Structure formats: structure tokens, C-alpha cells
Amino acid sequence: MPAWDDPKTVAANDPGRMLAALDGYVDDFLTSWKAGSRGPLKIPSPLRNVVISGLGGSGIVGSLAAELVRDSCAVPIVIVKDYDLPAFAGKDTLVICVSYSGNTEETLDVALQAKGKGCTLITISSGGRLQRVHGAHEQHISVPADRQPRAALPLMLGSLLGVLSGLKLTKHRLEPASERHVRSFHEGVKLSTSEQTNRAKRTARALVEKYPSWYAARPLVGVALRARHQINENSKMLARNDEVPECNHNDLVPWGETRDGARHWVGILRTASDPPQIARRLDFFIDLLERQRVTHEEFVADAPGVVGQVLQALVYVDYVSVYAALLRGVDPTPVPIIGQLKDLLAKHGRAPQLAKQIP
């Protein structure tokens, strides 16, 4: 019997209830979007640039949001996934720091530098020290503290997009028809939907114990990155990702020469509205993988509108990663090795100094 058909096996393999955390995907996203946009939010005038800082399960929301709003945002958005605020940041910069725990030292460091340079600071966390670092204005958005950071993606992405939309930095929203589409797709990948018709379970079975590579073009580049992270953390497997068209200028070469196609699994994330110049590249790649006998799968996010497409693809890859964990018999929730590194850093890293600066 497959690992997901027996409720007792599922409960035993998923004691942290990672699957249950995915249940409220669309509701969490929309509720936090509303809360994020409510404000009152203040930004510098004139606003010259935006920095979004965060790591891992929190950092990915910056990547996703920046990619999503790129076609409509009038100012540059720079993503920071380390300790340093870029030198250009100043009084005309909006810095948004996202950390689910609110205690990630890289993000705290950036927040303090932002405060020191007089940037406008908005923080998003479920608590921790981050909510106590205030910039020119006190602007903190709180999300519920009841899950693993990566399982809080819908809450944090919704909050961040809500902020960007409240500040008129994006015109995108999840239109009602798109919301209906994503909700219906979501039903089809839940545990209660059998493998025969459940796209995420089928993908998990195909990639498990292989070396998965995820590919996408804008607006799904961040989703391919998310897929890798989720396969790493939930399924505890190595994985990789790359982006089109850039990877057509380098990564394409080994696929043309591969001698160990059976070891790999390739996932291609597309949208129903990919422009022809992108679709042609993806079709070429798929033909190549067929010739090289590499197992591959296309996933087409077909929700109307770009926000719905991103959300639909996120729902898909998140479920795939938890189903792969169930198939492997590993608990998707704990990531003890990340905890061990954080414990070490808490004693010897920047954390002790930061703790003094943010009581």
C-alpha cells in the first residue's frame, strides 16, 4: 500500500503535520495580503529603491515577490540573502526584512544597518528580535507563530505582496477567477485525492531517489528555487534548479552529453501564457531530454493571471516535496542540521553582538 493511502502511516511519518500546514495555502495567502496592505505604511519620498532581506524559507518570498512585480514596479528591488546592506542604501531606500523566527542573524544585521543609515524599515516576522528593530518608522507585520518557517510561505509571501501593493509598487492581485482555479487545483493535490488523479503524488513517485533538477522561466524562476529548497528540507534530498533563458547558455551542454540519464529527473515549470520565445526554448529542451532518455515532466500553471500561476505552481511543488518525504519514510518537518549550525552561531557568530544591540 503506498505510504499516503494509510492514515496511520501518514500520521507516523508526518508527526509535525507538514501536510496539514499546506491545507490553508490560499486562505493564508489572501488573509495576510489583506493585513499587509492595510498599513498605514510610510515610505521615503522620493523612493529610489527597495531592498528585501531574508534567508531560506523567508528569503524565498523576496525572490518570488521581486520577480512577480518586476513588470510593474517603478523602482529597482534588490534581494539580499547575506549580512550586508548594499552601499547604495540610504534615506531614500525602503528595506523590508523578512524572517519567520525574527532571529536570523543575517537578517537582523541588515535591519540594524538599515536603521543606522536612516532607511525606512518594514519588518515581517512571527516574533523574535526583528520586531524590536525600528527604522525611521515603526512598521512591523506579524504572522502567526505556529509552524516551520518554510511552511509559513503563504503567510509571508501574502504579507510582502500586500505591503508592495499597499505602497502601489505593484498592481498585481489574485483575481477571483484565478483564486477559484488555484483552490480547485489545490483540492486535486491534497492527501484525499488518489494517486491516479493526484499530480503531486505522481511527480513525487517519479523523482524520489533520483537527482531532481527544476527549470523555469519568469514568472516561475522563484518557484523552481522553492522546489529545490522544499526537496532539500522536506524530502531531505539533493536537488538543483536553473533558470531559462540563462541556462540555455551553459547548463544545456551537459544534458546534450549526459551518460547517466537514468539517475536524473527533470521538472519543467511553465505557464499557459509563456511567450513564444520562451516556449520554443522549453520545447527544445524537452526534445533533448527525450533523446537523452532523461525522465522529465512538464507542469503547466494554467491559472488565469500571474499571481495565480505562481501560487498554483507553489502549491504543486510544496505537495510534491512532502509526498516524496512520505515515500522515503522521512519526517518532513525537522531540519536538525540547520538548528545545529544556528546553535553554534548563537555562541560564536554575529548573534551575541546583535543580541546586545537589540535587547
Size of the site for ligand F6R (CB under 6 A): 15
Q: Is 340 exposed, middle or buried (0-12, 13-18, 19+ CB in 10 A)?
A: exposed
**Binding of ligand F6R at residue 99 (CB under 6 A)?**
yes
Q: Buried b vs exposed e over 278-301: b needs ≥16 C-beta within 10 Å?
A: beebbeebbebbeebebbbbebeb
Question: For residue 274, how far is the Cα from the chain centroid?
Answer: 21
Smallest gap from residue 64 Cβ to ligand F6R (A): 14
- CB within 8 Å of 202: residues ≥ 6 apart: 195
- CB within 8 Å of 40: residues ≥ 6 apart: none
Smallest gap from residue 276 Cβ to ligand F6R (A): 36
Nearer to ligand F6R, 143 or 174 (CB): 143
Q: Compute the distance between CA of residue 303 and CA of residue 183 in angstroms, rounded to an integer.
A: 10
Helix axes 199-207, 176-189, angle to 10 degrees: 50
Q: Catalytic pick from 179, 233, 243, 297?
A: 233
**Binding of ligand F6R at residue 325 (CB under 6 A)?**
no
Q: Buried b vs exposed e over 139-173: b needs ≥16 C-beta within 10 Å?
A: bbbbbeeebbbbbbbbbbbbbbbbbbbbbebbebb
In the residue annotation, 181 being an active-site residue is answered as no
Helix ranges restricted to H, the chain: 7-13, 18-21, 25-38, 56-69, 105-116, 153-166, 176-189, 199-207, 221-233, 252-257, 276-291, 306-328, 336-348, 351-357
Q: Can you tell me which of 149, 158, 222, 305 binds ligand F6R, judged by CB under 6 A?
A: 149
How far, CA to CA in Å, does 48 sit from each of 92, 139, 169? 6, 19, 12
Within 10 angstroms of residue 60's Cβ, the number of other Cβ atoms is 27
**Binding of ligand F6R at residue 338 (CB under 6 A)?**
yes
**Binding of ligand F6R at residue 235 (CB under 6 A)?**
no
In the residue annotation, 134 being an active-site residue is answered as no
**Binding of ligand F6R at residue 341 (CB under 6 A)?**
no
Smallest gap from residue 163 Cβ to ligand F6R (A): 17
Q: Can you tell me which of 148, 235, 271, 312 binds ligand F6R, judged by CB under 6 A?
A: 148
Nearer to ligand F6R, 125 or 178 (CB): 125
Stretch that binds ligand F6R, among 100-108, 161-169, 189-197, 199-207 (CB under 6 A): 100-108
Q: Catalytic pick from 8, 249, 347, 348?
A: 249
**Binding of ligand F6R at residue 150 (CB under 6 A)?**
yes
Q: Can you tell me which of 55, 157, 191, 231 binds ligand F6R, judged by CB under 6 A?
A: 55
Q: Catalytic pick from 42, 117, 236, 342?
A: 342
Q: Is the peptide bond before 40 cis (omega within 30 degrees of 0)?
A: yes
What are 183's strand-pairing partners?
A: none
Q: Can you tell me which of 32, 63, 101, 312 binds ligand F6R, judged by CB under 6 A?
A: 101
Residue (of 138, 119, 299, 126) closest to 224 by Cα position: 299
Q: Can you tell me which of 36, 57, 154, 166 binds ligand F6R, judged by CB under 6 A?
A: 57
3 state DSSP class of 49: strand
**Binding of ligand F6R at residue 222 (CB under 6 A)?**
no
C-alpha cell at 4: 499516503
Nearer to ligand F6R, 11 or 338 (CB): 338
In the residue annotation, 138 being an active-site residue is answered as no
Nearer to ligand F6R, 233 or 318 (CB): 233
Q: Can you tell me which of 28, 67, 105, 233 binds ligand F6R, judged by CB under 6 A?
A: 233
**Binding of ligand F6R at residue 332 (CB under 6 A)?**
no
Smallest gap from residue 150 Cβ to ligand F6R (A): 3
Binding site for ligand F6R (CB under 6 A): 55-58, 99-101, 104, 107, 148-150, 233, 335, 338
Q: Which residues are catalytic?
A: 233, 249, 342
